[in-house]
Amino acid sequence: MANNDKLIGDALALAACGLLGAAAPTRSHAAEPDGKWAIDTAVLYYGESDGRVKDASLSALAIREFGDDRKLSLDLTVDTLTGASPSGAIASDLPQTFTSPSGRATYTTPAGEIPLDSSFHDTRVALNAAWSQPFARLYTFNAGVGASSEFDYQHIGANAGFTRDFNQRNTTLNLALAYGVDKVKPVGGVPIPFATMGDAVNEEDGNVAGRAGDSEDKNVLDVLVGFTQVLGRHSLLRVNYSYSDSSGYLTDPYKILSVVDPVTGEPLSRTPPPGVSGPSGIFLFEGRPDSRRRQSLYSELRQDFSGKVLQLSYRYSTDDWEIDSHTLEGRLRVPLGESGYLEPHLRYYTQSAASFYRYSLAGGAPLPEFASADARLADLDAYTIGLKYGHETSRGNEWSARLEYYQQAGKAPAETLIGNQPGSVQMPDFSAVILQFSYHFNL
């Protein structure tokens, strides 16, 4: 069973990575020898608090220059996910039982705790290849392809773009396009939106209730228009506008909503028939719109202060799901001695809830057209604080380590709360630790 957290627009992340990777990435290290492969490797551990998601990944990026500024880059990432994530159901004063996504088993949540999907384990592999080369003196062209696979999700995408320099290469305009197709094949089949979570059914007893079909597709188109401007000997500004259009199956097939008493806001109870295990309440599968159009504006300033580099960025994003977000990020690279550096990092993120985000649904009330209790679509604030240390060896190789702490806190908009809920809202806030070791070398 896959990590729900990966499913939501995984293609988008990879398309974004693809856009990033397609432009023949430059590495963070000193003079790369020509005619050799420059290899960056990283091992990363991500761990959330309270038995939630843990991820370990291994990545490798290899870049080869072929003379006259032609570049090939290849990257591979393998990661393993374990742990539980919130299902969207709300906490209750009583223990709760849910049918697992496969529809074949059940799991329980203790009283007073936010229900988490039962633990799972999944491995994902992602591959990207990109090529870039100049054509005519002031233009470079780039193109790339990428694919990723985990047992219930597959993605394939392609991207292309070009850059054009102006003003003695002080201004660079870039344009890029990425297109991706994803296929999701949820365990137990694709749930029908707002279908009720049914009792657990054994293999021999037939199909899982409330499912329609084995798999669904989604397409994502990304367009980026941006420019990079040299402001002075010591500073650089980049501004990007992106537009993203997703269509198809955008719902998370594993997320549910609790149905609550319309007056008190307490989760409704239910008893499964004798001899059968199943949900202890009324839970409906979520349903999201089949289209999402998003625009964002990203700006980044890089400023050198006699060898120290400050990087400051701000991104504003808005979409037709009414999720508006602001991201503010800063990094300061401080050289230490001849071959080391220290880089503190701060990030602040805030978003407003999707128009169809609901904390829970009121029993007996007409169903909205779309609804999701996924905390990632709620109002939320997140902070990251981190530190990176890097060191270049005498042979020109570099290793680095970074440690980051991430904290996320959500809020359910008041209008989505029912009855007595305002006094007892429990959002699945969490904190996570990110630890990464990287090593760069030439082959």
Partner 1 sequence: MTKLPTLLTLLVCAALCGCANVGVKPWEREVLAREDMRPDANPLDAALDDHIYFSKEGTSGGRGFGGGGCGCN
Partner 2 sequence: MLATRPSALARRLVASCLTALVLTVTQPGAQASQPNLDLAQYRGQVVIVDFWASWCKPCRQSIPWLNQLRARYGSRGLVIIGVNVDAERADADRFLREVPIDFEVVYDSQGALAGQFRLQGMPSTFIFDRAGKLAATHMGFREKQREQHENEIQNLLTGEAR
290 vs 319, which CB is nearer to partner 1? 319
Rounded to whole angstroms, the Cα distance separating 122 from 375 reads 22
**CA distances for 65 relative to 15, 38, 39, 62, 294, angstroms:** 24, 9, 12, 10, 35
Q: Pattern 54-93, binding to partner 2, x per CB under 8 A?
A: -------------xx-------------------------
Backbone angles phi, psi at 272, to 5 degrees: -65, 155
| SS3 state of residue 112 | coil
Among 121, 169, 234, 326, which residue sits at the site for partner 2 (rule: CB under 8 A)? 169
- Positions in 291-310 near partner 1 (CB under 8 A): 293-298, 300, 302, 304, 309
Instruction: Give the bridge partners for 287, in sequence order.
Output: 371
- Positions in 226-265 near partner 1 (CB under 8 A): 226-234, 236, 238-242, 244
Contacts of 131 (CB under 8 A, 6+ apart): 24, 70, 71, 72, 73, 142, 143, 144
Distance of closest approach, residue 248 Cβ to partner 1, in angstroms: 17
275 vs 307, which CB is nearer to partner 2? 307
| SS3 state of residue 43 | strand
Instruction: Give the bridge partners for 149, in sequence order.
Output: 125, 154
31 vs 443, which CB is nearer to partner 2? 31
Distance of closest approach, residue 192 Cβ to partner 1, in angstroms: 24
Rounded to whole angstroms, the Cα distance separating 133 from 67 reads 10
- Positions in 173-202 near partner 1 (CB under 8 A): 173-174, 176
Among 74, 158, 223, 434, which residue sits at the site for partner 1 (rule: CB under 8 A)? 434
- 238: which 2 tokens? 């980049």
Among 1, 17, 282, 417, which residue sits at the site for partner 1 (rule: CB under 8 A)? 17
Query: Is the torsion defined by CA of 127, 13, 381, 92 positive or negative?
Result: negative
Instruction: Give the bridge partners for 317, in sequence order.
Output: 296, 325
Among 34, 93, 324, 369, which residue sits at the site for partner 2 (rule: CB under 8 A)? 34
Report the partner that residue 392 touches, choosing among partner 2, partner 1, none (CB closer than 5 to 8 A by kind).
Answer: none
Of 19-27, 187-195, 250-258, 267-275, the segment contacting partner 1 by CB under 8 A is 19-27
68 vs 415, which CB is nearer to partner 2? 68
Report the partner that residue 152 touches, choosing among partner 2, partner 1, none (CB closer than 5 to 8 A by kind).
Answer: none
Residue 385 engages partner 1 in binding (rule: CB under 8 A)? no
Rounded to whole angstroms, the Cα distance separating 278 from 106 reads 6
DSSP 396: S
Q: What is the CA radius of gyration of the chain?
A: 24
Residue 28 engages partner 1 in binding (rule: CB under 8 A)? yes
Distance of CA 31 to the CA centre of its chain: 33
Mark residue 420 as left, alpha or beta (left: phi above 0; alpha: psi -120 to 50; beta: remaining): alpha
Among 87, 376, 416, 417, which residue sits at the site for partner 1 (rule: CB under 8 A)? 376
Among 135, 168, 204, 306, which residue sits at the site for partner 2 (rule: CB under 8 A)? 168
Residue 306 engages partner 2 in binding (rule: CB under 8 A)? no
Contact 278, 298 (CB under 8 A): no
| SS3 state of residue 96 | strand
Residue 29 engages partner 1 in binding (rule: CB under 8 A)? yes
30 vs 125, which CB is nearer to partner 2? 30
Q: Pattern 357-376, binding to partner 2, x per CB under 8 A?
A: --------------------
Report the partner that residue 67 touches, choosing among partner 1, partner 2, none (CB closer than 5 to 8 A by kind).
Answer: partner 2
Contact 317, 303 (CB under 8 A): no
In the complex, the residues that contact partner 2 under the rule CB under 8 A are 31, 34, 67-68, 137, 168-169
